[in-house]
Structure 1
Amino acid sequence: MTTGTELIHQIESLAPLMLKEPQDPSGLQLGDPTQPVHKIMVTLDVRPEVVAEAIAANVDFIFAHHPVMFHPARNLDTRDPQNKMYADLLSHHITVYAAHTNLDKAQGGMNDWLAEKIGLQDIQVLASQEPDQLYKFVVFTPLENADQMRHALGDAGAGMLGNYSHASFTGAGQGRFLPENHANPTIGAIGKAETVQESRIEFLIRRTQLTTMVATMRANHPYEEPAFDLIPLANTAPSIGLGRIGNLPEPVTVQALAQQIKHDFGLSGLRYVSPDPSKLVQKVAVIGGDAGKFYPNALKAHADVLITGDVYYHTAHDMLAAGLNVIDPGHHIESIVKTKMTALIQQWAVQFHWDVTCISSQLSTDPFRFI
């Protein structure tokens, strides 16, 4: 049996809540995560029509990129479509979880997906924050438990080094302890000193992974009181932040790039701002969603063009005056989450032997139409 808690644990290994912006209500939105999960739906937005789709498909867990509750409900009058949607979710026991700006910032998350879809190479973080702190996570466990512990921590994201995962070091030694009164020792007896052959397992982890890794270690450790160390290191992990910047394989004109994005994302229209649409560009910044306010970061990074949605009229004037080319394909290109996250959850289901089915919402929640 798989629960929503297990699924959320894995989601937050990919996109820790510590990464989210201060006012972002990412996380559990509604429902009971401890209930069993059999069928999951991935969507960009949770709208009444999506909830109806989920109910018809017997879904019991919805993963969304955009939070359901950006603003608290003033009342629970179910004549209001939004409130009725909450009632429908609760009455059908559907748990809803959202990962928004934390997924935008996460390595291998939203902005990496968009950058790869556009075809960027040499991808780096654009609007970076302070580099994430690295820790050495050391745990001591009986020899027979070492393989299980290494696999569990590696699967949860410990030991990521560049293009390598599950990187760890193991040494052997002797652990000694004396169980006192009220102890419940897995090995040995109360009042009797014990010596056990143990493995010392070391991983590098990020500060943002601390809570997840300690919880994973405890869940897979046979001891009542595991011994472990968390040692802050002077070296740092790669920067984290919103947006990505990289290079196209070959220079193209602004207009050609706009046409390519329109085609690749299946758009019926888009907007772009350019002092010279025939200018060749190659260095491209991308930030999913509404991120026009970050255009100074694109200028500072010497981007030829910025791709982001919902650009405001006056901001567009400022971008134009600064000589920055901007392509606005709209907010809805983040619907890439449906295919990417569905595939990832299906991968986790195989990896962790979950008896679950994961589907993507087949509805478009884009409110805009072009004529």
Structure 2
Amino acid sequence: MSVDIINILNFFEKSFSDITRQYEWDNSNRQIIVDYGKVKKVALALDPTKQVIKKAIDKGCELLITHHPLFFGKINSITKGNLLSDKIIVAIQNKLNIASYHTNLDLADFSLNDYLAEKLDAQVIDGFIKEGSEKYYKFVVYTPVGYENKIIEAFDLSGAGQIGNYKKCTFSTIGTGTFEPGNNTKPFIGEHGVFEEVKEARIETIVPEKNLSRLVKNVINAHPYEEVAYDIYPIEISKTYSLGRICKLNTKTDLKSFISHISQKLGCAIKYNFLDDNLIFDEFAVVTGSGASLWKHCKQKGIKVFLTGDLKHHDALDAKEEGVVILDAGHYSTEKIFMEYIQKVLETKFGIEVITIDEEESIKIWR
């Protein structure tokens, strides 16, 4: 089975995650797009290394999706013999499209942190560091009775009507619409100069600000009337998004047991700044990848245990003096596992073949 590549890209940028949430310094997006055609096979990896790109090509993949971007800043030249240039040249020569979704996945509603919590049999109870919020609007449109389903489909296509895990959420009432077509109109119902009364449905839904213009366009295209009557109201709700998660275990545990649990679930070694044998806990914070410098937020929230990666010397010392235990499971190990989740999501949604490319951890530990 094949699928249009744009459908996969739009899924990552507008549905599964939101490209507008990425940090300003980031470059989550389409890195190399050779062909906006059909895709039969997708490869997933954490990093777009030479080996990963070669494996994706050898496996016959038309699209490689990575978490870390191929490049961040502007490119002044593409010159053979330069590492980045060689990757670009090889990808283009072999018609391999590459897209990278980085901090927008870190800030997604279901992020790497949520999946890691699931792997550790923990429940997410809150966001860790609030990063922003999305404004919402109430959208109301009037349509002749019998066309409600077409309008609701337009809502859904536009990313409107989503409440939690429910989609196509609307409310409708029936009333009477009145109008009189003028001489230069092409009325769907009625005649020029004749006053009309029509049974109409008033359909309302909610929509995030980012999807509002798309919603208006799609509703107008789906609507039978020449002139579409609709209302837009700002509403006092918003969706907050966060970096990291605060999690709760099913039962209280000690540090050594928790470290053993993490190591077993992730298959990795754990570094730490200190152990408190008297500490019994069931809550911890997590930031996948490189988050050790954020330990001070644990202090502010009264959290004693912080699971993350990329622990540095001074953060380890300062956190220890403040009584915060930092558990470093590694940048690689805390993020690589998300590829297995994405693989299942893409296979289920698009019905295409998806492979996760084996990678070597960049930092080795002598055991």
TM-score clears 0.5:
yes
Deviation at 1:251, TM superposition (A): 1.4
Identity of aligned residues (%): 24
CA distance in 2, matches of 1:38, 1:321: 54
CA distance in 2, matches of 1:229, 1:138: 5
Deviation at 1:307, TM superposition (A): 0.8
CA distance in 2, matches of 1:243, 1:217: 36
State the match for 2:356 in structure 1: 361
- Partner letter of residue 304 of structure 2? D
Indicate whether 1:336 and 2:331 are aligned.
no
- Partner letter of residue 35 of structure 1? G
State the match for 1:50 in structure 2: 52
Which runs of structure 2 are paired with 1:135-214 in the superposition (5 Å)?
135-141=137-143, 143-151=145-153, 153-154=155-156, 157-173=159-175, 174=177, 178=181, 187=188, 198-210=200-212, 213=215
1:200–1:175 CA distance, 2 compared to 1 (3 A): farther
State the match for 2:254 in structure 1: 253
Deviation at 1:348, TM superposition (A): 1.9
State the match for 1:325 in structure 2: 325
What secondary structure sits across from 2:104 in the alignment? helix
- Partner letter of residue 306 of structure 1? F
Q: Which stretch shifts more, 24-33 or 216-225?
A: 216-225
CA distance in 1, matches of 2:38, 2:241: 34
Unaligned runs of 5+ in 1: 350-355
CA distance in 2, matches of 1:224, 1:82: 53
1:201–1:281 CA distance, 2 compared to 1 (3 A): same
CA displacement 1:47-86 (0-9 Å, x = unmatched) = 1111112112221122222111124334311222321111
Q: Which stretch shifts more, 143-152 or 52-61?
A: 143-152
Deviation at 1:127, TM superposition (A): 0.1
CA displacement 1:175-213 (0-9 Å, x = unmatched) = 7585886x8x79469978887655433222333444665
Unaligned runs of 5+ in 2: none
CA displacement 1:270-303 (0-9 Å, x = unmatched) = 2112251552221110011111232122222221
State the match for 1:16 in structure 2: 18
Query: What is the alpha-carbon root mean square deviation over aligned residues?
Result: 3.0
CA distance in 1, matches of 2:326, 2:180: 64
1:138–1:337 CA distance, 2 compared to 1 (3 A): farther
State the match for 2:309 in structure 1: 309
State the match for 1:295 in structure 2: 295
CA distance in 2, matches of 1:53, 1:179: 65
Contact 2:181 2:187 in 1 (8 A): no
Which runs of structure 2 are paired with 1:216-227 in the superposition (5 Å)?
217=219, 227=229
State the match for 1:271 in structure 2: 271
Contact 1:65 1:337 in 2 (8 A): no
- Partner letter of residue 58 of structure 2? A
Deviation at 1:158, TM superposition (A): 3.3
The structure with the largest alpha-carbon Rg is 2
Contact 1:10 1:156 in 2 (8 A): no
State the match for 1:88 in structure 2: 90
State the match for 1:118 in structure 2: 120
- Partner letter of residue 24 of structure 2? P
1:292–1:222 CA distance, 2 compared to 1 (3 A): farther
TM-score, length-scaled by structure 2: 0.86
1:315–1:192 CA distance, 2 compared to 1 (3 A): farther
1:306–1:227 CA distance, 2 compared to 1 (3 A): farther
CA displacement 1:217-249 (0-9 Å, x = unmatched) = 567556677554432112333x21101002111
- Partner letter of residue 270 of structure 1? I
Deviation at 1:324, TM superposition (A): 0.2
1:277–1:87 CA distance, 2 compared to 1 (3 A): farther
Number of corresponding residues: 361
CA distance in 1, matches of 2:198, 2:92: 50
Deviation at 1:142, TM superposition (A): 5.2
Which runs of structure 2 are paired with 1:49-68 in the superposition (5 Å)?
49-68=51-70
State the match for 1:353 in structure 2: none
Which runs of structure 2 are paired with 1:218-237 in the superposition (5 Å)?
227-237=229-239
Contact 2:32 2:97 in 1 (8 A): yes
State the match for 1:352 in structure 2: none
CA distance in 2, matches of 1:145, 1:54: 46
CA displacement 1:77-99 (0-9 Å, x = unmatched) = 12223211111221222222222
1:121–1:79 CA distance, 2 compared to 1 (3 A): same
1:192–1:329 CA distance, 2 compared to 1 (3 A): farther
Contact 1:308 1:327 in 2 (8 A): yes
1:320–1:136 CA distance, 2 compared to 1 (3 A): same
Contact 2:154 2:215 in 1 (8 A): no
What secondary structure sits across from 2:3 in the alignment? coil
CA distance in 1, matches of 2:64, 2:191: 48
Contact 1:115 1:123 in 2 (8 A): no
- Matching residue within 104, 127, 130 for 1:128: 130
Q: Which stretch shifts more, 319-328 or 6-15?
A: 6-15
State the match for 1:76 in structure 2: 78
CA distance in 1, matches of 2:163, 2:216: 19
What secondary structure sits across from 1:247 in the alignment? strand
Deviation at 1:112, TM superposition (A): 1.3
Contact 2:346 2:354 in 1 (8 A): no
1:282–1:209 CA distance, 2 compared to 1 (3 A): farther
